[in-house]
A = this chain, B = another copy of it.
Amino acid sequence: MSVTAAGGFTAAGITAGIKDSGTPDLALVVNTGPRRAAAGVFTSNRVRAAPVLWSEQVVKGGQISAVVLNSGGANACTGPKGFQDTHATAEKVAEVLNQGAPDTHSSGEIAVASTGLIGINLPMDKLLPGIEKAAAELSPHGGEKAAIAIKTTDSVHKTAVAGGDGWTVGGMAKGAGMLAPGLATMLVVLTTDADVDSPALDSALRAATRTTFDRVDSDGCMSTNDTVLLLASGASRVTPGYEEFAEAVRTVCDDLGRQLIGDAEGASKDIRVEVINAATEDDAVEVGRSIARNNLLKCALHGEDPNWGRVLSAIGTTSAAFDPDRLNVAINDVWVCKNGSVGEDRDLVDMRFREVRITADLSAGTESAVIWTNDLTADYVHENSAYSS
C-alpha cells in the first residue's frame, strides 16, 4: 500500500518537532529509478502557498526525484521568507540524498508540500534536521509511516493501491477540512513502477483528478496548498497500455477521495449527489456542487430529514438548463419530488445509514456527474471554532 507499494520508491515518516503535539510531521518519498518522470496538479486558489509555487515549477521540468512533505504548518501567506524556506527545504533534501551519491539529486527536482495553519513561518531549525533524520530512515517499506506523518486533523491515514500485470500504482493522501474542489484540500502523492513518460503521466493524472478529487466537496472551502503528485520510477520495466494505466490512476484517486470524505471533520454522513439528464456535464457539475454546498440541506441530512425543498432551492440558484416543473429528486432512491412538486411519501426514505444518495434529474439532456460531500454538524463547528487551523 501507500507510496512504496510500487517498486523503485523508498519513503519515511518521522517526528521533526514541527507540531507541538509530538506526533509525526515530516515525510520523505524518494524515487530510486531507473526513471524519474512526474506530473502534478495544484490548487486553483489564487492565494497559493510557497511550496505550491515551488513545486509547480519543479513539475514543469517533468522530473521529480523526491518529495518532502510536512504537516504542522502550511507555509502559506508567509511572504518572501516562506518561499526562501521552501527553497532551503528542497536544497537540504538534495544535499542529504547526495551523500554517498554525489550529483544524483538537484533541488530543482525536489517537490515540497506543506499542510497546517496558514500564516505562520515554519520552524526551520526543526524541519531541516528532520530531513536528515527522515533520509536515514528511508525504506522500501516506509510508505505507511509517510502516510501517517502528513496527517493534520485526519483521524486515520489514507492509502490506496491498484495496478495491472507486473506494475502497480499506489498512493497516500491527507485531508479532512478545507475540502473543496479545484482541488479538494489535501496533499496526495501517487507512485508507480510502470514505465511511463511525463506527458502520459500528466494526461492520466488530469483525467483522474477531474472526476475524483475535483468532485469532492466536503465544506466548500478551497485550500491554498492542494497538491497531487504522480511519480513514475519505471522499475517494473512494464509499459502498460495508456487506457489501462489511466484507469488504475483514476481508481487510486477515487479510492483516496472517498477516504477523504469518509474522514471529513465532524461529519456523520457521506453524501453522494448525482445529477442526471443534464444538458451538459458542466451543468451537472454546477448543479451537483450547488446542492453539495447548501448549508441548510446539509443540516437537514444530518438530522435525517429528507428535505427535498432545500435541494430544489439549491438547483434554482444555478445557471444550468432546466425547467422547474420538470425537476425530479430522489433521496436514497425514493422519488420525493416529481415534476417540481410533491412526489413519493418522504416517510419512505430510510436515512439511518452513513451514506446518503441524492439524485437530481434535470430532464434536460443525457449528461451526468457525481459530487461527494458531507453533512454539516455541530461537531464540524466545534472542531473548526476551537482549532486554529
With A341-B77, A376-B381, A381-B376 as known contacts, state yes or no: A316 contacts B388, CB within 8 Å: no
Contact of A312 among B47, B82, B377, B381 (CB under 8 A): B47
Within 8 A of B (CB), among A46-92: 46-48, 74, 76-79, 82
A315 contacts B220, C-beta separation under 8 Å: no
Cα distance, A382 to B305, chains bound together (Å): 12
A155: interface (CB < 8 Å): no
A377 cross-chain contacts in B, Cβ below 8 A: 381
B77 contacts A303, C-beta separation under 8 Å: no
B382 contacts A313, C-beta separation under 8 Å: no
Interface string of A315-328 (1 = CB under 8 A from B): 11110001011010
B78 contacts A48, C-beta separation under 8 Å: no
With A77-B337, A79-B339, A309-B118 as known contacts, state yes or no: A385 contacts B299, CB within 8 Å: yes
A107 cross-chain contacts in B, Cβ below 8 A: none
A211: interface (CB < 8 Å): no
A341 contacts B296, C-beta separation under 8 Å: no
Contact of A386 among B46, B303, B342, B385 (CB under 8 A): B303
Question: A118-B312, A224-B309, A303-B385 are known contacts; what are 19 more A-B pairs with Cβ within 8 Å?
Answer: A46-B315, A46-B317, A46-B324, A47-B340, A74-B309, A77-B308, A77-B312, A77-B337, A77-B341, A79-B341, A117-B309, A118-B307, A119-B308, A221-B296, A221-B314, A222-B317, A295-B380, A296-B389, A377-B381
